[in-house]
């Protein structure tokens, strides 16, 4: 935990790995064997589950719940009160009425690819994958995979547009999609968006 900042009220397991320059704020919990990369921020009251992997330069905002075995690649933004679930068929008890234990189910994870953003209070229902640089709107419920660069919203979430690496919604111009901030161009082929390759 060299050069990491962990607030005294945070609960960080001894076996968790906290990367250089990362911060774990008040009342956050980082469970056993979780791995946080460098320059990450875990906000107040956030939860990082056992064995969760968080890449470099990620932000997990206040009161977000990231349940194992989630994987966040580099540069992922998890907004306030986001939930990444891990149980496809949740039950507190078994068919015979006995309380279920950790051995009675197998957790499944959510994968968030590089640069993607999950808006405040969104829920990603495992198992799903959110593609590179995609944006999930606040309050959305993601029940199926999200393509790279997609902008999804609603319950259940549906694609309503495309976004570039800047996070800005892309504008269609002739045969390309263009970022109004950076000018970067993207090409859509068969419902898949790719960055335009320049010579």
Structure tokens at 92: 């507190």
What distance in Å separates the CA atoms of residue 144 and residue 146, rounded to the nearest whole number? 7
Structure tokens at 199: 């010579």
The pTM of this model reads 0.94
Higher per-residue confidence, 146 vs 105: 146
- Predicted confidence (pLDDT) per residue in 54-70, tens digit: 999 999 999 999 999 99
- Predicted confidence (pLDDT) per residue in 129-176, tens digit: 999 999 999 999 999 999 999 999 999 999 999 999 999 999 998 889
Write down the CATH number for the domain with range 5-92+105-163: 2.160.10.10
- Residue spans of the domains in the chain: they are 5-92+105-163
* One-letter-per-residue 3-state SS of 85-150: CCCCCCCCECCCCCECCHHHCCCCCCEECCCCEECCCCEECCCCEECCCCEECCCCEECCCECCCE
- Predicted confidence (pLDDT) per residue in 1-12, tens digit: 569 999 999 999
So what's the pLDDT on residue 2?
Answer: 64
């Amino acid at each position: 935990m060299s050069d990491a900042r962990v607030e005294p009220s945070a609960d960080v397991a001894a076996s968790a790995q906290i990367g250089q320059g990362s911060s774990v704020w008040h009342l956050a919990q980082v469970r056993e064997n979780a791995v946080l990369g460098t320059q990450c921020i875990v906000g107040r009251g956030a939860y990082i589950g056992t064995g969760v992997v968080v890449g470099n330069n990620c932000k997990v905002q206040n009161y977000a719940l990231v349940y194992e075995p989630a994987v966040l690649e580099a540069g992922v933004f998890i907004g306030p009160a986001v939930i990444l679930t891990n149980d496809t068929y949740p039950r507190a008890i078994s068919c015979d009425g006995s309380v279920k234990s950790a051995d009675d189910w197998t957790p499944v994870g959510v994968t968030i690819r590089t640069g993607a953003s999950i808006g405040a209070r969104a829920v990603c229902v495992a198992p799903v994958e959110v593609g590179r640089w995609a944006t999930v709107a606040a309050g959305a419920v993601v029940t199926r995979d999200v393509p790279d660069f997609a902008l999804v919203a609603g319950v259940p979430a549906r694609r309503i547009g495309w976004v570039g690496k800047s996070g800005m919604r892309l504008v269609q111009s002739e045969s390309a999609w263009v970022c109004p901030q950076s000018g970067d161009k993207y090409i859509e082929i068969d419902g898949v968006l790719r960055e335009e390759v320049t010579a």
